[in-house]
Amino acid sequence: MCEFLSNSGMGKLIDTSSSLRDAEIVYPSGVWHTTHQYALEVLFHERLKQYKCLSSPDVADLFYIPYYGGLDVMRWHFVENISNSQKDQLGQELVNWLREQPAWQRRRGLDHVLVLGKITWDFRRPPEDGASWGSSLLWKDEMANITKLLIEREPWQKNEVGIPHPTFFHPRSDMDVKAWQNHAASQKRRFLVSFAGQGRPNQPESIRSELIRQCLVSSKKKQINMNSSCHFLNCTGFRCDDPTITMKVFLESEFCMQPSGDSPTRRSVFDSLISGCIPVLFDPFSAYFQYPWHLPEDSKSYSVFFRAEDVKAGKIDLIKELRRIPAVTREEMRLRIIHDIMPGLVYARPDARLEEADDAFVISLKSLFARVSQRSS
């Protein structure tokens, strides 16, 4: 994990100087990293360290809790012979520490924020039912009032807010953002739709096998009808951890299929959005009920939705349905995604100076201050 969390959580810098191909995909140079999908906690903390309005606890309006809960719980995934008390140890130490803080005692967490770089279910192991996955952190009474920022929230928990998964792009300036916007907007989209992922043959409820089947059938038809075009990028192994591979596919596609994985949300949704590839969603919890601060309320302005049940039952020909969307509508959606939505989905470098648009961190911080102010009134 240390390599992935280097460079303030951004990971290893992608060197495009020796590869013209890579330089033409991840552009501009110097702002693309091999960022780990669970690096949010470190990224957010490093940005906070550079925040210009840090103050003493006596006068602060908002309190950040410096605990990397996602990295903590990841230590125990798939590790045998680990007791639940071991998994909960650091979380319990955190709770004990919080109780002793004067700032905590004043409002019992109403003005505190905890950033968690994994999904909510990794912190919701019921204390008494004998389950073994994850920790029970979010079941603790002391967590109730805290605002929790996660890559995937429990939509019915009013104090949980979803914020974007980290992408590979970390701009330094407005010029970097504009350079990427122009780059993404100018791409020739040679695929109607693509799917970057793996099948889930051992999960009967998954629709991935059906999506792959339809995609491969469409690819064969391409020899007869050049307009039938679907590209399947098989992400077995660690292939799709390489930004130059995944971003190339997304930049070349008009639509990107985004089925659920182990949970409804996917980092790939955000990789496709920043590429101007319109996400095709199959579960409303993949985005619509997750990110109220960062995605428009009008989901049709940036995505296409099909019910997973209809796809699995073979009631929908995805390629045919997507082709029915007029080219002018696709272009309008793509340009809105690239120019209006994309800047708010990326996490800029800790030392970045963005003046023309707020990135995901700034949007989150402004929304947090507004939330704390509302809770104080």
Q: Residue 377 falls within a domain, yes or no? A: no
Q: Give the span between the Cα atoms of 6 and 359, in whole angstroms.
A: 21
Give the chain's domain count: 1
User: Positive or negative CA dihedral for 104, 110, 112, 117?
Assistant: positive
At residue 225, the pLDDT reads 46
- CATH number for the domain that contains residue 199: 3.40.50.2000
Q: Residue 44 falls within a domain, yes or no? A: no
pLDDT in tens, the chain (377 residues): 777 789 999 999 998 776 666 767 889 999 999 999 999 999 999 999 999 989 999 999 999 999 999 999 999 887 888 888 889 999 999 999 999 999 999 999 999 999 999 999 999 998 776 678 889 999 999 999 999 999 999 999 999 999 999 999 999 999 999 999 999 999 999 999 999 998 876 777 789 989 999 999 887 765 444 445 899 999 887 788 889 999 999 999 999 999 998 899 999 999 999 999 999 999 999 999 999 999 999 999 999 999 999 998 989 999 999 999 999 999 999 999 999 999 999 999 999 999 999 999 999 999 999 999 888 76
Q: Residue 40 falls within a domain, yes or no? A: no
At residue 301, the pLDDT reads 97
Q: Residue 220 falls within a domain, yes or no? A: yes
Three-class SS state of 360: helix
Q: Buried (b) or exposed (e) across 176-211, using 16+ Cβ within 10 A?
A: bbbbbbebbeebebebbbbbbbbbbeeeeebbbebb
Q: Residue 316 falls within a domain, yes or no? A: yes
* Integer CA distances (angstroms), 241 to 150, 204, 220, 290, in order: 21, 26, 27, 24
Q: Residue 149 falls within a domain, yes or no? A: no
Domain that holds residue 288: 187-345
Q: Residue 100 falls within a domain, yes or no? A: no
Q: Buried (b) or exposed (e) across 140-149, using 16+ Cβ within 10 A?
A: bebbeebbbb
At residue 19, the pLDDT reads 67
Q: Give the span between the Cα atoms of 67 and 92, in whole angstroms.
A: 11
Q: Strand 160-162 and strand 147-152: pairing?
A: parallel
Q: Residue 65 falls within a domain, yes or no? A: no
